[in-house]
Amino acid sequence: MSSLAQSIFTMPDLPEVGPKDFERAARILHKRAGIVLGEHKREMAERVLATRARAMKLEEVRLYLDYLEQNPQSGQWEVFVNTFTINHTAFFREQHHFDILAKFAQSRKKPFSVWCCASSTGEEPYSIAMTLRESRAVPDTEVSILATDIDTRAAAAAYEGVYSDERAKAVPEAYLHKYFYRGIGRRTGMVCVKPILRNMIDFDVVNLLSPDWPTEQKFDAIFCRNTMIYFDRATQTKLLERFASVIKPGGLLFVGHSENFTYLTKAFRLQGQTVYVAT
């Protein structure tokens, strides 16, 4: 076999994964981002850790974890956390939430503000923006939307606002025409969010466990859907109390269909259909 063929088909061995590396990685991930790394993900996680160690030319995963703990400001943390985040989202997912949001916005004082705190690749905040533009008289001057995510790759994709036609199928045709450009040439089969929609949203990267959130404003509504299922109960309770501190009286908290926080806090009461109201 030629040297070129060998370089293509021969992969170097992965660094050694020690017996306690998974548990240690799970601890530091939980401490940094609140994410619980379950035992069922051990095999996947160990391979990911070994791959990251090899990328840094380290012979053992232990040394990679040493580096993370000894360098809390390193850019490697961004890669580490991004690796274990899940970005499953869609336009107008759980449509009843957007119906509730539209009616709620019409009843609130101006201006109206929303925080989408797990915005992933952008489908959710853009769905919020379309809903509010269609439900208010002068939306550009009355509405502000903050869209944040811990995953830097997802946040960058959200800001770009480019999606396949398949991803955009859930968007009503009238909204597609009004709020998206259709791709041509090499962009055929894609759509891109128009500035009229993107300019309604401020995008940022935020770790919900950070002691300081990058905003002092109060919100009429907070979307935190299908996110806290990855946190333990203590972290969920802490976040609910923090959400209560940045939401306006009577504001709404939208959560995922499998999330129930009725017994974790008195700051919110269940209004119905996975929507909570600030007490």
User: Do 131 and 32 lie in a common domain?
Assistant: no
Q: Please give the Cα distance from 172 to 54 (Å, whole number).
A: 46
User: Do 167 and 70 lie in a common domain?
Assistant: no
Tokens standing for 70?
A: 């000894």
User: Do 255 and 123 lie in a common domain?
Assistant: yes
% the chain with pLDDT above 70: 94
pLDDT band at 137 (very low <50, low <70, confident <90, very high): low
90 within a domain of the structure (yes/no): no
pLDDT single digits (tens) 73-103: 888 888 888 788 777 789 999 999 999 999 9
**What pTM does this model have?**
0.80
**2 pLDDT higher than 60:** no
**199 pLDDT higher than 80:** yes
User: Do 159 and 249 lie in a common domain?
Assistant: yes
Domain count, the chain: 2
Of 278, 203, 205, give the one whose Cα is nearest residue 242.
278
CB 140 within 8 Å of CB 200: yes
Mean pLDDT of 7-30: 75
Question: Residue 125 maps to which CATH number?
Answer: 3.40.50.150
**274 pLDDT higher than 60:** yes
Among candidate residues 52, 83, 114, the one where a domain is terminated? 83
pLDDT band at 5 (very low <50, low <70, confident <90, very high): very low
User: Do 68 and 137 lie in a common domain?
Assistant: no
Among candidate residues 83, 113, 148, the one where a domain is terminated? 83
Mean pLDDT of 240-254: 96
Mean pLDDT of 120-139: 87
Domain that holds residue 135: 95-278
Among candidate residues 60, 83, 106, the one where a domain is terminated? 83
User: Do 152 and 225 lie in a common domain?
Assistant: yes
Question: Which residue positions form the known binding site for S-adenosyl-L-methionine?
Answer: 87, 89, 93, 124, 149, 207-208, 225-226
User: Do 114 and 37 lie in a common domain?
Assistant: no
88 within a domain of the structure (yes/no): no
pLDDT single digits (tens) 205-224: 999 988 888 777 899 999 99
Question: Residue 41 maps to which CATH number?
Answer: 1.10.155.10
User: Do 115 and 222 lie in a common domain?
Assistant: yes
182 within a domain of the structure (yes/no): yes
User: Do 116 and 234 lie in a common domain?
Assistant: yes
**11 pLDDT higher than 50:** no
Of 128, 110, 116, 269, give the one whose Cα is nearest residue 204.
116
Question: Which residue positions form the known binding site?
Answer: 87, 89, 93, 124, 149, 207-208, 225-226
